[in-house]
Structure 1
Amino acid sequence: MRLDFFRGLAMFIILLAHVPLDSWALWIPARFGFSDATEIFVFCSGLASSLAFGAAFRDHGWPMGTARIAHRVWQVYWAHVGLVLAVCALLYAIDASGWGAPDKLYIARVPVVPLFEDTGPALLGLLSLRWVPNFFDILPMYLVILAMVPLVMGAYRLAGRGGALGLVAAIWLAAQFNLLDLPSRPWATEIPWFFNPFGWQLVFFTGFAFGMGWVPAPPVSRALFRAAVAVLLISVPFAWFRIHDGLWLPDGWWLQDAIAAGREATQVLWRKTELGLFRWLHFLALAYVFWSLAGPGGARLTQPLRLPAAASGAALAICAGVALITAPWAWVDEIRALAPALDAWLTGVLGEGARSVLGVDLFVPWERQSLVMVLHLCALAPLVWTAIGAGARAWIAGPGWAGFVPVVRKVGTQSLAVFLSSMFLAQVIGWGLDLTGRGLWATGLFNLAGFAALIAVAYAVGWFKSQPWRRPAPAPAPTPAPAPAEAAPRRGAARRSAPQPAE
């Protein structure tokens, strides 16, 4: 249950992460830590592979297990090729039809221009995996890692779990020194794959090892939970660009300089291409926190949520005051678009009005506006939670949550089909936002429509995989036997029963 649920959440996050210039992507987990949804996807794939393929190696031997892996690699390979061609066809159709934004060349939005300008080498590179454009690099990484499963299982047969885990660690370590890079472009072989599979296999085989029982599940303890939370919190300033790039802290402040210097000095430990050590440790901390919160066997996913009570009294008043004061800076674009008169009045009050009274204006620099927005949203959330009423809060904690979990799990059970759809949909959503503008309501509408499409894909694929046409037809209801015809009375009996005339 936990596997499918968290893999389903990763699918929604991956969609947002690939939509061009999607403002919702500024608030996905990748912005606040070293690891992101890719680690969730790869780890869950490793865990799922142990369940799907481990039995083949155990029950049918290494050759049959390898054949099972080869079949899956074949499927993923053609899924990758089909995805690249489908997205290229979409982007070319937008450009050729003139239906896109007039100032954009859509085939240049993702790095697929070589397929149109130098088709032969690009096509051969696509089929040989020597051309792996950045937007399409997850599936090639995944299929190479899958191809490593027989190697790791062979090491396990020869040297036990120590040999298997030692091989995984040795390959990861070699990748950290750029000894196992794969070229991503035939015309620029010095540029490696963005996701080096020999580094990322560490995350995959971490999940695989848990699923195979090579590594025991960690105990649930408050000390470990607090340590994991501490790792997540400490990593935020080093991972969130709004902090380490100086957007929230004053330039030249010693803390800002220390954060920037620390991030630069440890770059080799958090870089994404080779899966630096900090990314792996951050993911383990994140996984432990949510694994603990889900409860034994994911029990809490089936129970009503324990949510905070509504705000009241002084807390409610403080939240209302903070939300009101910060609103002009938190909703600058929305106020300007929907209420020009209010925007002009606020500009006068915060500009000339403030200077005449305070000697300085109250305009917030653009790089600090997101800080004000976070403060505003933190104050607004308790107000909304209180305003929706006790009935709505009870529904969210009970029936709402009970309906939400199965839907997310369904998305997680069809991860390959959903992933392929999300990569295509990301470009469709980006195209739509180019035409409508990336305002608050348009962005929300397109993103929610994308979520709904992924859910529809998951249920449709699940229905096809169930092969309902193979189910035996229901047996027809038995036809009742006809009632026996009533026998004609004998003549003598008829005479005896006939009424006699009165004398």
Structure 2
Amino acid sequence: MGSISTSRGAVPHRRDHRIDALRGVALLMMCIDHIPQDVLNRFTMRNVGFADAAEVFVLLAGYASWLAYGRAFGRKQPVMSVLARIGRRCWQLYVFQMVMVVVCISTIRIWRHFWPVPVDFLEPELAHGLDSAWRVLSLQALPGNLNILPLYIVLLLGFAPLYALLRGVGTPVVLGVSGAVWLLVNLDPRLNFPNWLDPDGWYFDPLAWQFLFVLGVCGARLAGRHDGSLPRSRVLAGVCGLYLVFSFVQSFPWTDWGFADLRPVGMAVPDKMILAPWRLLDVLALFYLVQSSPRATVLAGTRGGQLMALFGRHSLEIFTAGTLVDLYGRLVLTSFGTGWVMQVVVNVVGFVVLLWVARNRERARAAARRPAAPKPDGLPAHAPLCGN
């Protein structure tokens, strides 16, 4: 993602590797979290805080949407051109969603002819067969682990109206209305989009999660006025740090690790479907500390940070490949055991696959941006050549 310069058109945009690196880390954690038997998921974000990688992904989706489309509107590009870009992106998300659905259902159908498949793999759409296909195609039926891209599509379709409201009535009003809708859903979780496969509705309730997306958009606007970083406040950073410490102590699986339970408060796990306040505050605190910290900028520039940024720059392809890695990892560990050999095989092969996808996409992007070489005899690159 590019950071926004302090003066319009005067300073060239610099790519903000913090956003890419943070998104890359979130994508890898999402991949690990979706393989329950993987020992690595004991070390992911969800074990040290209320929120997990999904909240980071959606917040950064809002942030990136402003950088990709909000700035385009602001530069007075033709409205229809920007809307067309948004439409193409939504269509791309939809196509990737359908590819994942087809591959996942086909894989499970084939796999269970050779090895037993636990009941949790047998999503209801398998039992209904092709009768439910149109529901899946129309996003009325969202299979498990395949529910975040539909949320992204809905949120992105609302970006143009959101931009118009931000320009028309201002940020405080938009945040107030968006926050009020989120609060209303938390008070009445029945307010949700229908899901034919789940009577409770969409696993990520769009009416609640839109608030996180809007906060990401507004965060990008604010950072754009401060050379790409959120304004640094020691007091606010201290509050965020203290909250994350509380979140860690409250969320860490003490007893699973053989420790005494040190949680200071007895409370249920905050509801993810409606984006409970504890989860929202957790991801916002983390994001503020990263996006306001010069040290985070330095870390994002290291070799490890650049590797994570490589994954983050190609989030859709990495998410899709990671979802399929999740599926095959779960099937392999379920069918052939969860010993150390299989753990190493699943994690190493999965990481290599994701790295291969990221590097190939990076090479394709570099090739697309490379200026075309001049044709022989001084002809310009775009001039047609005679003959075959």
Contact map agreement 1:31 1:239 (CA 8 A) in 2: yes
For residues 430 and 211 of structure 1, what CA distance do their matches in structure 2 show? 37
Residue deviations 1:200-258 (CA, integer Å, cap 9, x gap): 12222211112123897544344333322211121234323445x996437xxxx77x6
Partner of 1:76: 93
Task: Provide structure 1 residue ranges, at least 5 long, that are not aligned to the other structure.
Answer: 303-401, 479-503
Partner of 2:156: 146
For residues 360 and 310 of structure 2, what CA distance do their matches in structure 1 show? 10
Partner of 2:111: 94
For residues 204 and 176 of structure 2, what CA distance do their matches in structure 1 show? 22
Cα gap change, 1:205/1:466 in structure 2, threshold over 3 Å: closer, same or farther?
Answer: same
For residues 227 and 95 of structure 1, what CA distance do their matches in structure 2 show? 51
Instruction: Write the mapping of 1:309-348 to structure 2, written as runs, cut at 5 A.
Output: none
The AA in structure 1 aligned to 2:137 is: L
Cα gap change, 1:33/1:459 in structure 2, threshold over 3 Å: closer, same or farther?
Answer: same
Residue deviations 1:251-308 (CA, integer Å, cap 9, x gap): xxxx77x633xx14xx6xx310010111111112222333355537x13433xxxxxx
For residues 91 and 119 of structure 1, what CA distance do their matches in structure 2 show? 13
Which 10-residue stretch deviates more, 415-424 or 432-441? Answer: 432-441
Residue deviations 1:426-445 (CA, integer Å, cap 9, x gap): 11222333354322343133
Q: Residue 275 of structure 1 aligns to a residue in which SS? A: coil
The AA in structure 2 aligned to 1:234 is: F
Greater helix proportion: 1
When the two structures are superposed, what TM-score results if normalisation uses the length of structure 1? 0.64
Cα gap change, 1:468/1:60 in structure 2, threshold over 3 Å: closer, same or farther?
Answer: closer
Residue deviations 1:297-346 (CA, integer Å, cap 9, x gap): x13433xxxxxxxxxxxxxxxxxxxxxxxxxxxxxxxxxxxxxxxxxxxx
Cα gap change, 1:233/1:246 in structure 2, threshold over 3 Å: closer, same or farther?
Answer: same
Q: Which has the larger radius of gyration?
A: 1
Instruction: Write the mapping of 1:29-68 to structure 2, written as runs, cut at 5 A.
Output: 29-58=45-74, 59-60=76-77, 63-68=80-85
Cα gap change, 1:203/1:462 in structure 2, threshold over 3 Å: closer, same or farther?
Answer: same
Instruction: Write the mapping of 1:268-417 to structure 2, written as runs, cut at 5 A.
Output: 270-295=270-295, 298-302=297-301, 402-417=302-317
Instruction: Write the mapping of 1:255-274 to structure 2, written as runs, cut at 5 A.
Output: 259-260=265-266, 263-264=267-268, 270-274=270-274
Alpha-carbon distance, 1:111 to partner? 4.7
CA root-mean-square deviation: 2.9
For residues 241 and 192 of structure 2, what CA distance do their matches in structure 1 show? 34
Residue deviations 1:95-147 (CA, integer Å, cap 9, x gap): 23x1x3xxx326x44353x3332124421210121111221111111111112
Contact map agreement 2:222 2:230 (CA 8 A) in 1: no
Alpha-carbon distance, 1:412 to partner? 0.6
Partner of 2:121: 110
Alpha-carbon distance, 1:80 to partner? 0.9
Partner of 1:444: 344
Instruction: Write the mapping of 1:129-144 to structure 2, written as runs, cut at 5 A.
Output: 129-144=139-154
For residues 230 and 51 of structure 1, what CA distance do their matches in structure 2 show? 30
Matched, 1:224 2:230: no
Match of 2:29 among 13, 17, 31: 13
Alpha-carbon distance, 1:75 to partner? 1.5
Matched, 1:424 2:324: yes
Partner of 1:183: 194
The AA in structure 1 aligned to 2:132 is: A
Task: Provide structure 2 residue ranges, at least 5 long, that are not aligned to the other structure.
Answer: 1-16, 379-388
When the two structures are superposed, what TM-score results if normalisation uses the length of structure 2? 0.82
Contact map agreement 1:73 1:147 (CA 8 A) in 2: yes
Cα gap change, 1:50/1:468 in structure 2, threshold over 3 Å: closer, same or farther?
Answer: closer
Alpha-carbon distance, 1:60 to partner? 3.3
Alignment size in residue pairs:
357
For residues 360 and 101 of structure 2, what CA distance do their matches in structure 1 show? 22
Contact map agreement 2:219 2:230 (CA 8 A) in 1: no
- By relative contact order (CA 8 Å, sep 6+), the higher-ranking structure is 2
Contact map agreement 2:117 2:331 (CA 8 A) in 1: no
Contact map agreement 1:111 1:135 (CA 8 A) in 2: no
Contact map agreement 1:145 1:198 (CA 8 A) in 2: no
Partner of 1:202: 211
Contact map agreement 2:125 2:143 (CA 8 A) in 1: no
Cα gap change, 1:180/1:150 in structure 2, threshold over 3 Å: closer, same or farther?
Answer: farther
For residues 325 and 257 of structure 2, what CA distance do their matches in structure 1 show? 34
Alpha-carbon distance, 1:67 to partner? 3.5
For residues 208 and 159 of structure 1, what CA distance do their matches in structure 2 show? 15
The AA in structure 1 aligned to 2:239 is: A
Q: Residue 50 of structure 2 aligns to a residue in which SS? A: coil
Which 10-residue stretch deviates more, 206-215 or 425-434? Answer: 206-215
The AA in structure 2 aligned to 1:428 is: Y
Contact map agreement 2:204 2:273 (CA 8 A) in 1: yes
Q: What percentage of residue pairs aligned between the two structures are identical?
A: 26
Partner of 1:386: none
For residues 185 and 157 of structure 2, what CA distance do their matches in structure 1 show? 17
Residue deviations 1:366-417 (CA, integer Å, cap 9, x gap): xxxxxxxxxxxxxxxxxxxxxxxxxxxxxxxxxxxx4333222111100000
Alpha-carbon distance, 1:27 to partner? 1.6
Contact map agreement 2:232 2:293 (CA 8 A) in 1: no
For residues 163 and 223 of structure 2, what CA distance do their matches in structure 1 show? 12
For residues 344 and 173 of structure 2, what CA distance do their matches in structure 1 show? 49
For residues 81 and 56 of structure 2, what CA distance do their matches in structure 1 show? 28
Contact map agreement 2:230 2:291 (CA 8 A) in 1: no
The AA in structure 2 aligned to 1:406 is: Q
Alpha-carbon distance, 1:19 to partner? 1.6
Residue deviations 1:3-39 (CA, integer Å, cap 9, x gap): 1111111111111011241121122110121111111
